[in-house]
Amino acid sequence: MGVAAEGQVLISQATARRVTGLFRWQEQRPVKVKGKRLPVRTYWVRRGVVGRVEWATFRGGFFGRREEMAKARSLVEAALAGQGAVLDVTGDPGVGKTRLVAELSTYARRRGMTSLRGAAVSYGRSLPYLPWTPILRALLGLTEGDGGGQRQRRVRLIAALEEAGLADWAPIVGEVLGIEIAETPLTASLDPRLRQQRFFDVVLQLIQRRAERSPLLLALDDVQWADATSLDLITYVARNVAASPLLLVVLHRPDLKAPPWQAIPICHQLHLEELDEEASLALARSVLEGDLSPPLHRLILERAQGNPLFVEEVARTLKESGALRREPGPEGRPRWTLAGEVTSVQVPTTLTGLIMGRLDRLETTNRRLLQVASVIGVAFPTSVLARIYPYDDLDGTLETRLAEMSRFDLVAFSPPDEYAFRQTLTQEVAYESLPFARRRELHVRVGEDLERRYAGALA
């Protein structure tokens, strides 16, 4: 609109309604906008709301999983009654672990619980406590968007820990969050093993304190990629929350073999299998927004084998490649049928191949954008993407291109300045498709951008 000051984000009334609870905003004076007869109400986005770490936006219905959801909801009810529990959710890539727990989180919030989430990333095994960092910030009332330099961040952290009666351990917590705090007599004498134990104790006390204020659902996703200390912290928390109004949910692929928390008595295991035929076809109809012809039924069931993400990708790939024809169906509802013979080139037989095929069909610039974004992470601010993008083919079209890829269900927008890959696997495939030299160059660009943005905070 051209009315925002430098560094200020203004949103419309409609957007403000949509982000209520995600951001704190302040209403501004109405402004005159070209093409509008009446002044438009605007809102200044001040900061993200702490205490909420959001799940990605999912498009399409949620089908099947009745027994699994019933079991998970029973643990929510137990937590609300003060009986802490651990829910260990396993399954192959694309089987719907994240989606199931996102639905569970929505249910828990409706029942009055607070929901916090952290996630590991495929290249994060050498980054200590990466999946715990957003949860720790939320527990302390800090956000990534908090302004100020190192001194202001230090003051806010110490104040939050003082309120919790944990200020003596501020140097240890600051070390994890990248905030320099002078050692206290208590912390200076600790060896690395005792420092880690004190940090574990602080995290546990912050979790228990928050859960006593409001029952808590705490989810850690993709922990097969987490560093060893993060896994140890999961086990430590799991062993000490039986008497707290807390549900700790841990999601991972089966290649994480027998993690220690599975042996804890309050741990309930939930292994997700493939969807049945009825749920698979319902999901395909939801994606295509229409009915399916019998030959298309058979093709989707044969190729996807009940994997929800595979079902979605097969349906979208067939549509995008022109392999489907839309016909009028009964009661005005469209029906999709095969336009001709479908080849393995049009529909690859692996999930990774399907996703790579979708990326390959993108215009070159759009594909490059997703590859560069994948280096930033599953979630990526558009401002950062614009600064590190190394090619000269955007010509001011970044926002338009991201909006286009959002319509293709590759990414999702999160106001005011962030997109996220709709599926972790899409980010993985985009990242792995980069040559190693380009990947390394982009990581350097991300690091240099961080140094420039936080030069004052790092001083």
SS3 380: strand
Instruction: Quote the percentage of the chain above a pLDDT of 90.
Output: 55
Strand, coil or helix: what is 17? Answer: helix
At residue 166, what is the residue type?
L
Q: Please say whether the structural domain 362-458 has been given the CATH code 1.10.10.10.
A: yes
Q: Yes or no: say if 83 and 241 are a contact pair by the CB < 8 Å rule.
A: no
* Residue 312 and residue 283 in contact, taking contact as beta carbons nearer than 8 Å: yes
Q: In which band, very low, low, confident or very high, does the pLDDT at 110 lie, cut at 50, 70 and 90?
A: very high
> CA–CA distance from 125 to each of 231, 253, 407 (Å)?
11, 15, 32
Q: Which of 141-145, 259-263, 422-426 has the highest mean pLDDT?
A: 259-263
Dihedrals phi, psi of 217, to nearest 5 degrees: -105, 120
Q: What are phi and psi of 76, to 5 degrees?
A: -60, -45
DSSP state of 126: T
CB 336 within 8 A of CB 290: yes
Residues 379 and 418: beta-carbon distance below 8 Å? yes
What confidence score (pLDDT) does residue 413 get? 84
Q: What share of the chain is helix, strand, coil (3-state, %, to 5)?
A: 50, 15, 35
Report d(CA 51, CA 49) in Å as an integer: 7
| Dist CA 220 CA 198 (whole Å) | 21
Where exactly does CATH 3.40.50.300 map onto the chain?
66-271
Q: What 3-state DSSP class applies to 250?
A: strand
Architecture per CATH, 66-271 = 3-Layer(aba) Sandwich (3.40)
Residues of the chain with CATH 1.10.10.10: 362-458
Helix (H, G, I), strand (E, B) or coil at 379: strand
> What ranges in 81-191 are assigned the alpha helix state H?
97-110, 133-140, 150-163, 170-177, 185-188
Q: How confident is the model at residue 372 (pLDDT cuts 50, 70, 90)?
A: very high
Count of C-beta atoms within a 10 Å radius of residue 6:
4
Q: Which of 23-27, 52-56, 403-407 holds the top average pLDDT?
A: 403-407
Task: State the pTM of this model.
Answer: 0.73
The candidate with the shortest Cα–Cα distance to 380, out of 412, 340, 355, is: 412
Mean pLDDT over all residues of the chain? 85
Per-residue pLDDT of 333-346, as tens digits, reads 889 999 877 665 45
Q: Concatenated DSSP letters for 143-170?
A: -TT--S-HHHHHHHHHHHHHHTT-GGGH
